[in-house]
Amino acid sequence: MNQSHEKNSSSDGTSSMGSTPIATITATPTPTSNAVVVATGTADGDGESNHRHDVSDTFYTSQRKKGSSHVFRVRLDTTGFTLQRESPTGTTIKEQTVKICDIVGARCMRLKKTRRLAMANACACSSGNPNSPANSATSRSNNRNNGATPSKCSTASKEEYACDGDVSAYLYVFAYVLKKKSLRSELHRERTVLTLRFRSFDSFEDNMREADRWYRALRWQLHQTLEDIFVDRTNEERRRRVLVLLNPKSGSGNGREVFNMHVSPVLNEAEVPYDLYVTKHSNFASELMSTRRLDAWCCVVAVGGDGLFHEIVNGLMQREDWEQVLPNIALGIIPCGSGNGLARSIAHGYNEPYFSKPVLGAALTVISGRSSPMDVVRVQLKERSVYSFLSIGWGFISDVDIESERLRMFGYQRFTIWTLYRLANLRTYNGRVSYLPSHQTGQGVGGLEGMQEPTLRMLQSSRSYNTTLNKQQLLNVPASFHHSVECLPSEFADVISLETSINQSFRSRCDSWLSGGSRRSYYYSISESIYHSLADESDLAEQSQIYAASSYLENRPQNFGPPSSLPDLDQPLSPEDGWQVEEGEFIMMHAVYQTHLGIDCHFAPKAQMNDGTIHLILIRGGISRPHLLSFLYNMSSGTHLPEVNNQYVKVLPVRAFRLEPHDNHGIITIDGERVEFGPLQAEVLPGIARVMVPK
Ligand SMILES: Nc1ncnc2c1ncn2[C@@H]1O[C@H](COP(=O)(O)OP(=O)(O)OP(=O)(O)O)[C@@H](O)[C@H]1O
C-alpha cells in the first residue's frame, strides 16, 4: 500500500467486489455476533438534495471461521444505520437497523496502539467544534506545550500518527438500544458501539477523511432531531451548552459519583458541552438561577432530587425576565434524590424504561434535544408565594415524607418504614378544602404559544410579591465556573481490540464493517477540579457565600409570574364563582400534577405534564385502617384510586384550590419540601415551563 487510490464508483452508485479497492471499514456486527464484516464498496452520497447527507456503501463480513464471508449494504440516513446482508445474487437476506433515535454520537480515531497520540490528536476527525471533547483534549495538550489554543483542528500528518504501518481510521458510533435480557424481563437500554474501520487508502489522512465524511453525515442527521433551542444558531453543527447543578447531599449523597460514572460519559459521547456547579448550601441553585445571565445555556439539569428541581423553578420565577427565559431554557433532572417523582413521571409519560438504569435513561433524556411544556402551580402562602411542579400535601403523606427524614440512610425504603409507623399511629386533621373544578376545554395545549388568548395576555404582564431584593448582594457571587468537557478515549480501547479478528488476507483494500457491539463500558472519572464550586475559590469567597446565603434568606426574594386569577388568601370564596367545598376531618389532602410522587408511587395515573389540571386527592377521617392500608399499598401500581368517589376517598380534577387547616399545627409540603403551616391557595399555570423529555 504505497499510494493513495481514488475511490472507484460505478456510475449507478453501486460497488463491485472486484473493483479497485476503495476504503476499508471493519466491524463486528451488533452485540450478538462476533463476525467480522469486511466489504468492498463505493460511498455513494447521492446528489439529490433531500438525501445529500445520506451515505452508503457495500461491505463484506468475514467470519472468524476462515473462508466464510457475507456482503452487506450499509446506509446512513434519517432512520439511522441500516445493514442489509445480501446473498451472492444480490437479494437481501437479513436487515438490521440502529435507529437514529438510539444513537447519541460518534468519534473518529486511530488505532489503540497509538492511544496516547490519538488522544492528543483526537481532533483529527473533529468538526472544529472547540467544545468537542476531542478538541478540548487537543487544546489542553497544546496549552501544556506552548500555551496556544488551536481554533480549528486539521487532519494530522502521517508521521504524527505513525502506528505500526496501520493507516486505518475508525469511526465509533455510540448507541443505546432498547433490549430485553429475556422474554420476561423488562426493556432496558444497552450501550452499543459500532466501529467502522476505514482502510482502503494507503494514507491515514485519506482514510480519516473518509471516516470524517461519515461522522459529519451522522452529526447532520443527529442535529436534525434537535429542537431549535438546543442548537447554536451561529453554528448549526454545534449544540448549546448545558448548565448542570449537582446537589452532593441528595438522596444517599452519591451525586458526584453518579454524575462522574454515568452522566458525564454520555454527555461526552454526545459532544454536549456543559458547565457543572456543585451546590454548597440550600438555596444555592435558586440564587444562581435568579441572578445569573442564562443565555449561554439551553437547559438546566438538576443532578439531585425534586427539592433541587424545586429550587431551580423558583429561582427562575424570581427573575424579572422570567417570561423571556422560561420558553428558552429547558429543565432536566438526573434522579439522585430519595423521591425522584419528576424523573419517574417523565420516563413513565414517554414509555422509557426506568428501573434498570434510571440515571442512564435520564442522561439520555438530557441529550435528546427534545422538550415539552410543563404545568407549574403557583402556591400562595400567608407571607409569600412559591412555585411548584410536583405536589402540595397536607396530612398523612407529608407527615411520612418529612418525618422519615431521620431514616435518610435507608434511601427510598424510609418511606415504607415510616408509612407503617404512621399507619399504626394514625392522625386526623380538621380543615376546609375549597376548589374550582377543572375545565377540560383549552387545556393541555401546551406552552406559552399554545395558550388561549386571554391567558396569553395575562402572562404578558407580571406581578411581584413581597420585599425588594438587593440584587447587587446576590450578584456578588463569584462568577467562575469550570468547563468540564473531557475526552475519555481510553474507553475505546476495548472496542478496538475486537478488531484483531479482521481477515487481512481477504482483501487488503476494501471497505469493511465492524460493529464492535460492546456491553463493556469503562467510564473514567473526569478531573476532580470540575467539582470546585463557587465557594471553593477561596476562604474569602466561602465567607461571602455564607453571607450571601443568610442575607438571601433574610431578604426573601420576590417572585414574578402571571397575575393571579384568585382572590387574596384572606378574602372569601364565592360559590357563584364555581367554588366547591369539602370540610371536616381529613387523613390527608394531596394535590398532584405529575403521575408519580416517587419512583414507586404512581399517585395520579391520569395526570399529564401539561393538562392544566391539579389532581386533588382527599382522604376523609373515619376510613378504616385496612381500607387505608390497601390505598397506600396500591399506590405503587396506581390502582389505589376509586373509579367513582366514595365517602372516604375523593379524586377531584381542579384548576385551583384553597386549603384552610383548622388546627394550628401539622405538616404541609410543597414538592416534598416542608413549608410554613397555615392556609394556602394554589392555581395551575398551564405549560409555562419546559422540561426535557426522551426522544
Ligand atoms: N449543598 C447542599 N447542602 C445541603 N443542602 C442542600 C445542598 N444543595 C441543595 N440542598 C438542599 O437539599 C434539599 C434536598 O435536596 P434534593 O431534593 O436534591 O434531595 P432529596 O431530598 O434527597 O430528594 P427528593 O427531593 O427527591 O426526596 C433541597 O431542599 C436543597 O435546597
Using one digit for the tens of pLDDT, what is the confidence trace for 300-334?
A: 999 999 999 999 999 999 999 999 999 999 999 99
Alpha-carbon span 222 to 570, nearest angstrom: 53
Alpha-carbon span 489 to 97, nearest angstrom: 26
Distance of CA 485 to CAs 136, 144, 155, 480, 529, Å? 7, 17, 21, 16, 12
Residue closest via CA to ligand 1's atom 30 equals 282
Residue closest via CA to ligand 1's atom 3 equals 281
Strand, helix or coil for residue 333:
strand
pLDDT in tens, 70-88: 777 889 999 999 888 877 7
Name the nearest CA neighbour of 132 among 299, 274, 227. 274
Strand pairing of 371-380 and 482-483? unpaired
Mutate to test the pocket of ligand 1, among 250, 303, 331 (most ligand atoms within 8 A of CB): 250
Measured from the CA of 401, which atom of ligand 1 is nearest?
A: 27
Identify the DSSP state of 148. -
Q: What is the pLDDT of residue 236?
A: 65
pLDDT at 284 over 50: yes
Tell me the CA end-to-end span of the chain in Å, nearest whole number: 44
Q: What is the pLDDT of residue 179?
A: 85
Is the model more confident about 22 or about 634?
A: 634
Strand, helix or coil for residue 322:
helix
Residue closest via CA to ligand 1's atom 9 equals 282
Residue closest via CA to ligand 1's atom 16 equals 305
> How far is the centre of ligand 1, averaged over its atoms, from the C-alpha of 247 (Å)?
6
Q: What is the pLDDT of residue 183?
A: 73
> How far is the centre of ligand 1, averaged over its atoms, from the C-alpha of 366 (Å)?
20
With vertex at residue 191, the alpha carbon angle to CA 340 and CA 211, rounded to the nearest 5 degrees, is 130
Q: Is 129 exposed, middle or buried (0-12, 13-18, 19+ CB in 10 A)?
A: buried
Q: What is the pLDDT of residue 428?
A: 95
pLDDT at 472 over 80: no
Mutate to test the pocket of ligand 1, among 278, 282, 310 (most ligand atoms within 8 A of CB): 282
Is the distance from the beta carbon of residue 311 to the nearest atom of ligand 1 less than 6 Å? yes
Torsion (CA) 362, 365, 371, 372 in degrees, nearest 10: -50
Percent of the chain whose predicted confidence (pLDDT) is above 90:
49
Q: What is the pLDDT of residue 198?
A: 81
Grid coordinates representing 304?
A: 439531585
Is the distance from the beta carbon of residue 687 to the nearest atom of ligand 1 less than 6 Å? no
Torsion (CA) 171, 176, 182, 186 in degrees, nearest 10: 180
Residue closest via CA to ligand 1's atom 2 equals 281
**Amino acid (one-letter) located at 15:** S
Alpha-carbon span 534 to 548, nearest angstrom: 12
CB 221 within 8 A of CB 175: no
Which band of pLDDT confidence, cut at 50, 70 and 90, is reported for residue 60?
Answer: low
> How far is the centre of ligand 1, averaged over its atoms, from the C-alpha of 308 (Å)?
5
Q: What is the pLDDT of residue 57?
A: 78
For range 643-649, the mean pLDDT:
94
> How far is the centre of ligand 1, averaged over its atoms, from the C-alpha of 629 (Å)?
29
Is the distance from the beta carbon of residue 344 to the nearest atom of ligand 1 less than 6 Å? no
Is the distance from the beta carbon of residue 335 to the nearest atom of ligand 1 less than 6 Å? no
The pTM of the whole model exceeds 0.95: no
Is the distance from the beta carbon of residue 669 to the nearest atom of ligand 1 less than 6 Å? no
> How far is the centre of ligand 1, averaged over its atoms, from the C-alpha of 305 (Å)?
6
Is the distance from the beta carbon of residue 281 to the nearest atom of ligand 1 less than 6 Å? yes
CB 209 within 8 A of CB 384: no
CB 10 within 8 A of CB 486: no
Is the model more confident about 58 or about 172?
A: 172
> How far is the centre of ligand 1, averaged over its atoms, from the C-alpha of 324 (Å)?
27
pLDDT at 51 over 90: no
Is the distance from the beta carbon of residue 41 to the nearest atom of ligand 1 less than 6 Å? no
> How far is the centre of ligand 1, averaged over its atoms, from the C-alpha of 401 (Å)?
13
The ipTM, to two decimals, is 0.97
Measured from the CA of 671, which atom of ligand 1 is nearest?
A: 25
Mutate to test the pocket of ligand 1, among 256, 290, 303, 308 (most ligand atoms within 8 A of CB): 308
Alpha-carbon span 489 to 134, nearest angstrom: 9
pLDDT at 384 over 60: yes
Which band of pLDDT confidence, cut at 50, 70 and 90, is reported for residue 413?
Answer: confident
Question: Which residues are bridge partners to 619 per DSSP?
Answer: 588, 649
If you write DSSP's letter for every residue of 627-693 in order, what string do you get?
HHHHHHHHTTTT--S-SS--SSEEEEEEEEEEEEESSS---EEETTEEE-SS-EEEEEEEEEEEEE-
Identify the DSSP state of 379. E
pLDDT in tens, 110-127: 865 544 433 333 322 222
Q: What is the pLDDT of residue 601?
A: 92
Identify the DSSP state of 598. B
Residue closest via CA to ligand 1's atom 5 equals 282
If you write DSSP's letter for every residue of 510-577 in order, what string do you get?
S-EEE--------PPPPPGGGG--GGGS-HHHHHHHHHHHHHHHHTPPPP--SPP-SPPTTS---GGG
pLDDT in tens, 342-354: 999 999 999 998 9
Is the distance from the beta carbon of residue 401 to the nearest atom of ligand 1 less than 6 Å? no
pLDDT in tens, 195-209: 788 877 888 999 899
With vertex at residue 436, the alpha carbon angle to CA 595 and CA 578, rounded to the nearest 5 degrees, is 160
